[in-house]
Amino acid sequence: MANETEAAAAAAQAINGQGEAHVISSAVDESKLVSDAVRSWPPHAVKDLLSIGVCIRCIFRLFGASEIVHSCATLLTSALSATVEKLMGLEGHMEHKDHGSKENPCSQQSSEGSELEPKLCKICLGILQFVYRDNREMVVKRACPYDFAVFITELVKQERHQIDSFSLEVSIPSSVVENEQAVWLYMKRKYDSELWFQEKFRADCLSAKDFLKLSITNPLETLLDTKYNLSSPLRIRLTYTHSEVAIKVQKHVEKKEGNKRIKTGMSSVLHQQPHRLPSCHLNCADDMDTRVGNEIAGREYSDFVTSEEYVSTRLCNVSDNNDSPDLSQFEVEKVSQPCSLTFLCHRTPVYIGGRYLKYSRNVSQTRWIIDDERMGEASVEEIIGSNILPICRGDNYKFHAAGREDIDVRMLGSGRPFLIEVQNARRVPSEMSVKEIERKINSMENNLVKVKNVKVVGSQGWSLMREGEAEKQKQYAALVWISRSLEDDDLKTLSSVMDMPILQRTPIRVLHRRSPLEREKIIHWMKVEKIAGSSQYFLLHLCTQAGTYIKEFVHGDLGRTHPSIGSILGCRAEILQLDVTDVKMDCFLTE
Ligand SMILES: [Zn+2]
């Protein structure tokens, strides 16, 4: 770990982009800001909080002075401690230590140096001290928010993301909120009658989670050279978990199961002093540590009471003892290990849409493998996806299309709308590289699939595709054989059809994967194209409502589709080939 002062100086220098003189002056400004803030607080209460092991940033939060992180980018712990120490008249560390242990046997004081700062804050479990366990279970301490932001920046850059803005998501164990509640209760019991407690203490308090965000947002903006934006698609996620706390919750539950006398429920506490509980403290709890406890114990989630119930019990134990001034009742759990920190940087999906045409009767729409054997020679999904994915440098992709055609049906005309959803793209392709993707697919030698009007669309591309999908019309060309010669009357009969309703029971060939239903569909129109030199073969052009089973409409599917070409003409009819010639949707119809 870098020396704290050096790191702070480097941070100040980087933030201000100026020389040493400025560093010194900002350090002076910072300590002045800090002492101004601290001066208005009751010294004995600050001392008390330090003695029970609350970190300095949490003290700033509790006194509603969170905005200090804006002006004090480095918010140097030692500088703060020194200021507090001076103002409190705490010259000797030993004196403080003795005092602390007398007042609260549970307090765990740092034995290193002359700092008042606890090793691990009893409230935030070290999160606001920038102490955590990394993915190799090593304990890491960053000197200041800037130092922490440097570490995050390195990780973001390792992922080689295109960075045009970023958002920040922080998840912390719910026990942090509980610890804060317990500390508040401890303070309430001692200082409830004092004016500062009634007016100021925890009245305007930022949650630990928001305080952390506030502390590192500015340094991250500087280091990543971009702006924070709540709705940015590039998400930086910090997840703190704590298994030790989770185990304690579980132990508590087991104890509670064997001891019915312990009262539970927050309601009594809330009822006593509802105005003293600012809403922010209770609504930001995560149930994360309960979940971790669940994994550790291998028990069902429902076996656990919530961690809120756990803290309520702890709190009630305290508040029930109002007659007795024995403050040793107060327990904020001792925690010896900091939280584990998991870092994730990812981009919300990038959507690339267009229309595809399929010229082969041996290419499936999506990847189709049965018992390790590929059906068809390729798939539309893979041909398009494999060309887009490397350009976006994404983790993987999903293929969506407006409807589907069978493997042996060609997709012609204006093509079918599709959407490729790229997961965690490191790069959003420019208009030029999208055109390049299009050229590449269209110049493939096998000429199985072509694409057009390909473009990057927002997530609205999704609704565009779904919009009007049920109402849309589709046009087909079918090569039909009938068991007798085609007469002129047949041509008239078929071409006179206008918006004819038909009933289709789920086709036999798809019954294994679709539920048996009867659907009404509309045949909008039909046209017959004769084939020269053949009386039993003809081309049937037809326009139908989306979702009509065309093959079944031709042969009748043993009476399951009615009427059908066979039943209308009064003979056997078979379909030999089918092409989709148009999908009537506006989606991706133009460049
Ligand atoms: Zn803290």
User: How far is the C-alpha of 269 from the C-alpha of 320, rounded, in Å?
Assistant: 10
The structure tokens listed for 354 are 């267009």
The structure tokens listed for 293 are 């406890």
Report the chain's terminal Cα–Cα distance, integer Å.
Answer: 55
CA of 422 from ligand 1 middle (Å) equals 39
What was the pLDDT predicted at 63? 87
CA of 551 from ligand 1 middle (Å) equals 69
- 64-68, 110-114, 116-120: least confidently modelled range: 110-114
Reference 264, options 304, 189, 317, 302; nearest CA is: 317
CA of 144 from ligand 1 middle (Å) equals 13
CA of 208 from ligand 1 middle (Å) equals 8
User: How far is the C-alpha of 131 from the C-alpha of 121, rounded, in Å?
Assistant: 10
CA of 402 from ligand 1 middle (Å) equals 52
Vertex 505 angle, CA 503 and 511, to 5° = 160
CA of 293 from ligand 1 middle (Å) equals 23
The structure tokens listed for 116 are 């008042």
Q: Between 463 and 220, where is the model more confident?
A: 220
Angle between the 307-319 and 175-191 helix axes, to the nearest 10 degrees?
10
| DSSP character at residue 373 | E
Q: Between 127 and 335, where is the model more confident?
A: 127
CA of 312 from ligand 1 middle (Å) equals 21
- 47-61, 279-293, 447-461, 560-574: least confidently modelled range: 279-293
CA of 338 from ligand 1 middle (Å) equals 11
Q: What is the mean pLDDT of residues 157-178?
A: 92
How distant, in Å, are the alpha carbons of 127, 375, 448, 471, 583 from that of 365? 49, 11, 11, 22, 15
User: What is the three-class DSSP state of 469?
Assistant: coil
Residue 464, number of CB atoms within 10 A of its CB: 20
Residue 102, number of CB atoms within 10 A of its CB: 10
CA of 267 from ligand 1 middle (Å) equals 26
User: How far is the C-alpha of 179 from the C-alpha of 339, rounded, in Å?
Assistant: 14
3-state helix, strand, coil in the chain (%, to 5): 40, 20, 35
Highest mean pLDDT pick, 128-142, 198-212, 482-496: 482-496
Q: What is the mean pLDDT of residues 394-405?
A: 92
What was the pLDDT predicted at 332? 55
User: How far is the C-alpha of 446 from the C-alpha of 430, rounded, in Å?
Assistant: 27
The answer, yes or no, to whether residue 480 has pLDDT greater than 90, is: yes
CA of 54 from ligand 1 middle (Å) equals 6
The answer, yes or no, to whether residue 475 has pLDDT greater than 60, is: yes
Reference 471, options 535, 371, 547, 401; nearest CA is: 547
User: Which residue in the list 406, 488, 490, 582 is annotated as catalytic?
Assistant: 406
The answer, yes or no, to whether residue 405 has pLDDT greater than 50, is: yes
Reference 391, options 356, 350, 347, 348; nearest CA is: 350
* SS (HEC) of 323-334: CCCCHHHCCCCC
- CB burial string 49-64: b at 16+ within 10 A, e below: bbbbbbbbbbbbbbbb
Beta pairing partners, 343: 238
Cβ(347)–Cβ(397) below 8 Å: no
Band the pLDDT of 78: cuts 50, 70, 90: low
CA of 36 from ligand 1 middle (Å) equals 21
Residue 91, number of CB atoms within 10 A of its CB: 10
User: How far is the C-alpha of 272 from the C-alpha of 233, rounded, in Å?
Assistant: 44
What was the pLDDT predicted at 146? 87
User: How far is the C-alpha of 56 from the C-alpha of 72, rounded, in Å?
Assistant: 13
- 107-116, 466-475, 499-508, 549-558: least confidently modelled range: 107-116
Cβ(523)–Cβ(517) below 8 Å: no
- Residue 382: alpha-carbon gap to chain centroid: 27
Cβ(444)–Cβ(378) below 8 Å: no
Question: For the chain, what is the mean pLDDT?
Answer: 78
- Amino acid 339 reads C
| DSSP character at residue 246 | H
Q: What is the mean pLDDT of residues 119-147?
A: 89
CA of 224 from ligand 1 middle (Å) equals 27
What was the pLDDT predicted at 42? 84
User: How far is the C-alpha of 263 from the C-alpha of 249, rounded, in Å?
Assistant: 16
User: How far is the C-alpha of 527 from the C-alpha of 535, rounded, in Å?
Assistant: 16
User: What is the three-class DSSP state of 424?
Assistant: coil
Query: Does residue 406 carry a catalytic annotation?
Result: yes
Summarised one tens digit per residue, pLDDT across range 329-343 is 445 556 778 999 999
User: What is the three-class DSSP state of 516?
Assistant: coil
- Residue 397: alpha-carbon gap to chain centroid: 17
Reference 441, options 523, 497, 556, 357; nearest CA is: 357
User: How far is the C-alpha of 347 from the C-alpha of 482, rounded, in Å?
Assistant: 56
The structure tokens listed for 541 are 């052009």
CA of 64 from ligand 1 middle (Å) equals 14
For strands 518-530 and 537-545, give the pairing: antiparallel
For strands 363-364 and 378-379, give the pairing: parallel
Instruction: List CB-based neighbours of ion ligand 1 within 5 Å.
Output: 55, 58, 121, 123-124, 128
- Amino acid 167 reads S
What was the pLDDT predicted at 72? 62
CA of 376 from ligand 1 middle (Å) equals 61
CA of 579 from ligand 1 middle (Å) equals 67
- Amino acid 517 reads L
CA of 337 from ligand 1 middle (Å) equals 14
Summarised one tens digit per residue, pLDDT across range 171-215 is 999 989 989 999 999 999 989 888 888 888 887 888 999 999 988
